[in-house]
């Protein structure tokens, strides 16, 4: 990894490693510029947290200062604090702030500018002038001893005295058990050695100043004959600054004893307790384990309370984090590391042990919030439930007639035994229907569940294309230095041409490394990057002719004396190139701020692998690419239907790379470092279309087949039952809709002879007055009524049950046969006297049968031609009167 420009911390406002990478508190976009750090010093200045120093992924010692404020406002503010003069580069130091909040004192830490045996340095930052000064110190007596510089120690400010305990030499070769005080009220500052016999070596511990002037030391590592060992958390070392005396207090626990740890953080709570967070087990880095456990020590009883149950999301396990008391009720945890993983998150812990919680957002800090249910809520729910019950009872009473009608109607629709059929047959039929209905319900539940849980599959579609677009390509020289003269041949640079000699150097531009410098773990040296970004008209063509050619040839140049340099190549589709928003380059971009943040997180940790290649100098390299339009399904409910899916079209690129072995004679015949050839894998447009394996459309066919089998089985077992020509709309219509249907039937099917299939043909066939041997009653209208019933029956069948196309065809055939003079097959045999008598009788009736044929308006037959033919066909057997 190379030196990383400190200006990056301000430049990446839109895209620098967002809290989504590791953060759990919803910080908002204003904290996107937080770097990934650990080993920083921090102080609380009126609820504005000041951070200084520490290390990042590329620089072990830094001297940048930051301020974090307005954390609970919904939009936290993270900014760089200006410094009129450069402060010290430190790591694992300590800092305290004066009672006025105007001066921050930074003590010790690993600093490359100081030898490991130098005197412990003191630096002070004045917030009024934003300037640094070096504190002048002296021994208690002229030429008296002063502490050696160190790291991983503790520093505690009590009034005007600064107390220093333990630590490790900055070269990691020695350990300290000395205890010092520095009087900041004297000029120069005066060191006093307070070391007592038997005081153990200690480093990686935490010190907390109580309100009574006592300093509580927790955790850390001590040195024994067998090596380093963690200090037991059940033995608490306390120094009384009033009595200048040490004491060791055994600490008990209300439950689980907090695990021993080092490199943790500790703060003093508003109620005078000590809260600790995080740490590690101080094992070698390959076996080191980390914790995010929170424990609280009550100094009044020396009792530990380990927080094992809490609300919210616990932050990542870590050590070397920064912890401060925020707004007197929260422990603020930021930054830190776990091995090579560094964090840039913000975490707030509610120190109220009756409701411990890791805060997810500012809304979680509402004082009225409670994990329990209040009495008012319970009473309100009870009252609301009673009101709902009363409303339901009132509705049942109000609409009881309709409810009874519904129950009766449902019963009549379900219980339909056929005449002459025993009860057991109908009961068996209904039982089988219930069983089959239950099976269908299970089937539908299974189908719906299958559709909801359906995985997505991707279909590849290739469309031939005459020319294809070119990707954006970044070339980063790792280990090749730059030189002041632009014409110096040792400067890294990239040239571009195509196989037909078309130049493309105009599309190659050098990237500003002060804005963002890629990180490479090999740390070969300086990093310089170039970006190839062609315009929309620059395409590769497979055929010969007046075009740009079929492939591009990139030639890289640099210092040929460098033995271990590398060139790192990355490729993106034009609209998915993160360099465009980061370096503010022209062109559109589809990446969101979150996408850019995630990419930068991977870039900074050097874990990018997709479409990223490295090649050594003096080599020939070939890369083939395929531009892809990947249509991802959106998380929309419509996509469960199965057609016209809602998708997001995302440009992607698929690449294949080949590198030849380095040629030892390459330098003798070439001025460049190597060649990188980029060509399309195929001249086509590839579409990856995502769709669901199971959808509602697919399920309909399966469900329809099963339903058909169920109905067929029912008919096979219990016989076929005719279906009503009316549907649900007709059958369950109410109000005016129902009345209009009944009026239509009444007006179009007028009859006084009784309704076919409902009323008996004669009263002697009625169930009430049926007498098989009753005397015949003469009725002059008897034949007319039978004919009227027959005609009504025909009209109803024609309107609702049968298609009369064949009958009309027969009528047309008979007409043609009559015109040809052919005699009918079935001659009329009715007596003329009877016909004349019937005609005479019908002529005397006010409500004659002729209304049955006036159906041109309001006809229920959907076949208008059939209806029209019926209305205009002359009736030979039914005379009409005028």
pLDDT tens digits, one per residue of 97-114: 999 999 999 999 999 889
Mean pLDDT of 743-751: 82
Lowest mean pLDDT, pick from 142-146, 367-371, 485-489, 633-637: 367-371
Lowest mean pLDDT, pick from 18-22, 771-775, 830-834: 18-22
**In angstroms, rounded to a whole number, what is the distance separating the alpha carbons of residues 123 and 118?**
14
% of the chain exceeding 70 in pLDDT: 85
Name the more confident of 150 and 792.
150
**Residues whose CB falls within 8 Å of the CB of residue 196, separated by 6 or more in sequence, listed in order:** 179, 246
Mean pLDDT of 681-693: 94
**Residues whose CB falls within 8 Å of the CB of residue 430, separated by 6 or more in sequence, listed in order:** 414, 415
* Tokens found for residue 488: 């110096």
**Residues whose CB falls within 8 Å of the CB of residue 218, separated by 6 or more in sequence, listed in order:** 205, 206, 207, 208, 233, 236, 264, 266, 274, 276, 297
Mean pLDDT of 11-19: 34
Residue 23 has pLDDT above 80, yes or no: no
φ/ψ of 690, rounded to 5, equals: -95, 135
pLDDT of residue 9: 34
**In angstroms, rounded to a whole number, what is the distance separating the alpha carbons of residues 342 and 40?**
12
* Tokens found for residue 255: 């439950």
The residue behind tokens 């493309």 is 504
Q: 3-class DSSP state for residue 516?
A: coil
Mean pLDDT of 390-406: 88
**In angstroms, rounded to a whole number, what is the distance separating the alpha carbons of residues 447 and 701?**
11
Name the more confident of 127 and 712.
127
| Spatial contact of 246 and 305, defined as CB atoms under 8 Å apart | no
| Spatial contact of 824 and 810, defined as CB atoms under 8 Å apart | no
pLDDT tens digits, one per residue of 281-336: 999 999 999 999 999 999 999 999 999 999 998 999 999 999 999 999 999 999 99
The secondary structure of 729-792 as a DSSP string is HHHT--HHHHHHHHHHHHHHS--SS--TTTS-SSGGGSSSS--TTPPP---TTHHHHHHHHHHH
Closest CA to 834 of 797, 785, 780, 798: 780
pLDDT of residue 17: 34
Q: How confident is the model at residue 828 (pLDDT cuts 50, 70, 90)?
A: low
Residue 855 has pLDDT above 80, yes or no: no
Beta strand 48-52 with 65-69: parallel, antiparallel or unpaired? antiparallel
Q: How confident is the model at residue 198 (pLDDT cuts 50, 70, 90)?
A: very high
Domain boundaries along the sequence of the chain? 206-366, 376-412, 415-455+693-724, 460-626+654-681, 740-872
% of the chain exceeding 90 in pLDDT: 54
pLDDT tens digits, one per residue of 440-451: 999 999 999 999
CATH superfamily membership of 206-366: Kelch-type beta propeller (2.120.10.80)
The residue behind tokens 């057609």 is 643
The residue behind tokens 């760089």 is 80
* Report field, pTM of the whole predicted structure over 0.75: no
Q: Which residues pair with 208 in a beta bridge?
A: 216
Residue 191 has pLDDT above 50, yes or no: yes
pLDDT of residue 25: 62
Q: For the purposes of burial, counting CB atoms within 10 Å of the CB of 331, is it exposed (0-12), middle (13-18) or buried (19 or more)?
A: buried
Alpha carbon separation from 743 to 435, 746, 758, 788, 864 (Å, rounded): 40, 5, 18, 20, 21
Closest CA to 878 of 767, 790, 770: 790
Q: How confident is the model at residue 255 (pLDDT cuts 50, 70, 90)?
A: confident
Mean pLDDT of 802-819: 81
**In angstroms, rounded to a whole number, what is the distance separating the alpha carbons of residues 24 and 306?**
21
Mean pLDDT of 418-434: 85
- Average per-residue pLDDT for the chain: 85
| Spatial contact of 98 and 353, defined as CB atoms under 8 Å apart | no
**In angstroms, rounded to a whole number, what is the distance separating the alpha carbons of residues 217 and 115?**
28
Beta strand 303-307 with 122-126: parallel, antiparallel or unpaired? unpaired
Lowest mean pLDDT, pick from 52-61, 517-526, 591-600, 851-860: 851-860
Cβ atoms within 10 Å, residue 851:
13
C-alpha 151, offset from chain centre: 42
Residue 10 has pLDDT above 50, yes or no: no
**In angstroms, rounded to a whole number, what is the distance separating the alpha carbons of residues 371 and 305?**
20
Closest CA to 526 of 489, 564, 569: 564
Q: How confident is the model at residue 24 (pLDDT cuts 50, 70, 90)?
A: low
Residue 368 has pLDDT above 60, yes or no: no
Q: Which residues pair with 56 in a beta bridge?
A: none
**In angstroms, rounded to a whole number, what is the distance separating the alpha carbons of residues 391 and 39?**
65
pLDDT of residue 820: 63
| Spatial contact of 626 and 49, defined as CB atoms under 8 Å apart | no
Q: Which residues pair with 276 in a beta bridge?
A: 266, 295
| Spatial contact of 557 and 489, defined as CB atoms under 8 Å apart | yes
């Amino acid at each position: 990894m190379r030196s990383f420009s400190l200006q990056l911390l301000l430049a990446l406002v839109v895209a620098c490693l967002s809290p989504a990478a590791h953060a759990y508190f919803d910080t908002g976009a204003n904290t996107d510029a937080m770097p990934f750090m650990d080993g920083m010093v921090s102080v609380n200045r009126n609820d504005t947290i000041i951070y200084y120093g520490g290390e990042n992924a590329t620089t072990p010692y830094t001297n940048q200062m930051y301020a974090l404020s307005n954390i609970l406002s919904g939009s936290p503010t993270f900014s760089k604090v200006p410094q009129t003069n450069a402060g010290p580069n430190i790591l694992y130091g300590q800092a305290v702030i004066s009672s006025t909040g105007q001066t921050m004192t930074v003590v010790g830490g690993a600093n490359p500018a100081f030898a490991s045996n130098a005197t412990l340095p003191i630096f002070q930052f004045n917030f009024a002038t934003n300037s640094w000064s070096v504190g002048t110190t002296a021994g208690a007596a002229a030429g008296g001893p002063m502490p050696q510089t160190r790291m991983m120690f503790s520093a505690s400010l009590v009034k005007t005295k600064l107390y220093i305990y333990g630590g490790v030499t900055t070269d990691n070769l020695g350990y300290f058990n000395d205890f010092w005080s520095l009087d900041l009220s004297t000029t120069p500052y005066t060191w006093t050695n307070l070391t007592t016999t038997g005081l153990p070596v200690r480093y990686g511990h935490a010190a907390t100043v109580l309100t009574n002037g006592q300093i509580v030391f927790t955790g850390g590592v001590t040195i024994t004959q067998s090596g380093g060992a963690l200090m037991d958390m059940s033995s608490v070392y306390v120094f009384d600054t009033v009595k200048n005396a040490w004491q060791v207090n055994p600490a008990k626990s209300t439950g689980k004893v907090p695990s021993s740890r080092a490199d943790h953080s500790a703060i003093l709570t508003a109620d005078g307790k000590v809260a600790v967070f995080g740490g590690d087990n101080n094992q070698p880095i390959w076996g080191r384990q980390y914790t995010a456990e929170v424990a609280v020590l009550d100094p009044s009883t020396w009792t530990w309370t380990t927080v094992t149950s809490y609300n919210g999301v616990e932050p990542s396990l870590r050590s070397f984090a920064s912890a401060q008391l925020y707004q007197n009720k929260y422990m603020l945890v930021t930054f830190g590391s776990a091995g090579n993983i560094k964090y840039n998150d913000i975490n707030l812990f509610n120190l109220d042990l009756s409701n411990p919680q890791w805060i997810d957002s500012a809304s979680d800090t509402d004082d009225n919030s409670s994990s329990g249910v209040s009495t008012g809520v319970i009473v309100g729910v009870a009252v609301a439930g009673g009101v709902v019950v009363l409303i339901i009872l009132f509705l049942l009473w109000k609409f009881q007639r309709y409810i009874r009608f519904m129950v009766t109607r449902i019963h009549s629709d379900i219980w339909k035994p056929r005449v002459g059929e025993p009860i057991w047959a109908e009961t068996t039929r209904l039982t089988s229907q219930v069983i089959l209905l239950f099976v269908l319900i299970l089937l539908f539940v299974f189908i719906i569940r299958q559709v909801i849980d359906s995985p997505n599959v991707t279909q590849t579609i290739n469309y031939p294309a005459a020319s294809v677009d070119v990707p954006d390509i970044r070339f980063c020289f790792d280990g090749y230095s730059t030189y002041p003269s632009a014409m110096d041949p040792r400067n890294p640079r990239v040239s571009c041409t195509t196989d037909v000699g078309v130049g493309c150097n105009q599309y190659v531009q050098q990237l500003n490394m002060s804005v963002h410098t890629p990180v490479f773990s090999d740390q070969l040296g300086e990093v310089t990057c170039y970006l190839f970004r062609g315009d929309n008209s620059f395409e590769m063509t497979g055929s010969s002719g007046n075009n740009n050619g079929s492939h591009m040839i990139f030639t890289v140049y640099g210092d040929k004396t460098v033995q271990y340099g590398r060139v790192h190549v990355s490729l993106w589709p034009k609209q998915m190139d993160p360099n465009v928003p980061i370096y503010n380059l022209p062109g559109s971009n589809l990446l969101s701020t979150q996408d850019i943040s995630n990419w930068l997180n991977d870039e900074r940790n050097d874990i990018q692998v997709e479409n990223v290649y490295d090649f050594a100098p003096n080599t020939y390299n070939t890369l083939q690419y395929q531009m892809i339009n990947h249509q991802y399904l959106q998380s929309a409910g419509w996509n469960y239907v199965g057609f016209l899916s809602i998708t997001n079209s995302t440009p992607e690129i698929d690449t294949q790379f080949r590198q030849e072995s380095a040629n030892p004679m390459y330098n003798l015949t070439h001025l460049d470092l190597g060649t990188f050839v980029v060509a399309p894998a195929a001249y086509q447009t590839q579409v990856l279309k995502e769709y669901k394996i199971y959808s509602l459309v697919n399920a309909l066919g399966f469900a329809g087949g099963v339903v058909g089998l169920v109905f067929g089985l029912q008919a096979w077992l219990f016989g076929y039952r005719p279906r009503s020509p009316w549907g649900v709309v007709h059958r369950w219509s109410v109000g005016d809709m129902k009345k209009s249907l009944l009026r239509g039937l009444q007006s179009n099917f007028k009859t006084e002879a009784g309704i076919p299939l409902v009323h008996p043909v004669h009263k002697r066939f009625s169930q009430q007055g049926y007498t098989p041997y009753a005397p015949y009653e003469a009725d002059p209208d008897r034949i007319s009524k039978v004919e009227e019933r027959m005609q009504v029956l025909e009209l109803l069948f024609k309107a609702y049950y049968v298609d009369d196309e064949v009958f009309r065809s027969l009528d047309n055939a008979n007409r043609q046969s009559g015109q040809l003079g052919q005699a009918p097959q079935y001659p009329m045999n009715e007596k003329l006297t009877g016909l004349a008598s019937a005609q005479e009788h019908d002529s005397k009736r006010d409500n004659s049968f002729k209304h049955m044929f006036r159906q041109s308006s309001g006809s229920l037959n959907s076949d208008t031609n059939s209806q029209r033919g019926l209305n205009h066909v002359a009736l030979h057997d039914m005379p009409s009167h005028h």
